[in-house]
Structure 1
């Protein structure tokens, strides 16, 4: 499983290297693109990734919770969710097979959205 520290700056998230014969986990690049999509007021509260496989494909299952705060929270959430399932993601050697909203709500300092994504390794 891969997880991240939510206090790491976004620029540091994409420095992800493969370990051994495996490929790099696409989660850091996906997080950077989700944050860019939502805007400056978005932050990652929680993110985890685990291996996934079917009879024909290998990939990773991701769960991400993003929080948006400030006066622009509602607009940031709308930007994030508008066309989310049709969005084009740039992930080296992976593609997003599925991405959806699992839950959403509000907190004392803004709004939050929990997403699930399935990335498949390209052959």
Structure 2
């Protein structure tokens, strides 16, 4: 805790500064890309984002579950497995360091895909 002594000048105050540039959470832009990849009838069932950091980088870990609807939903869900690791995503101030399909399946509501991604702040 920082203590301020009224008799001291402002030069003695401790100033808290952010470490590095702090951008907004890129989850919304990532979701937009994933919906485009899945097609117009793609629905976001669940999306979470939490901070992530290593000794050299900071970013966010994202988990997204998508539900695909429509006549060719099964084929579009299968397409997520093909090439998602090498797909390009435009996320201003961030880049996708890792993305993969963790699970997929089909239930009474149709096919679903669960994706995890790691985005890193681009300093």
Deviations for 1:54-110, whole angstroms, at most 9, x for unmatched residues?
A: 000000000000011221111221333321000000001100000011111111121
Q: How many residues align?
A: 103
Q: Which runs of 4+ in 1 moved over 6 A?
A: none
Runs (5+) with no aligned partner, structure 1: 1-20
* Structure exhibiting the larger radius of gyration computed from Cα positions: 2
What's 2:77 paired with? 77
Whole-Å Cα distance in 2 between the matches of residues 75 and 42 of structure 1? 13
- Tell me the C-alpha RMSD between the 2 structures: 1.2
Give the Cα separation in 2 of the matches to 1:71 and 1:109.
13
Query: What's the TM-score once normalised by structure 2's chain length?
Result: 0.79
Measure the CA separation in 2 of the matches of 1:53 and 1:88.
Answer: 22
Query: Any residues of structure 2 matched to 1:1-123 within 5 Å, and which?
Result: 22-123=22-123
Q: Unpaired segments of 5 or more residues in structure 2?
A: 1-20
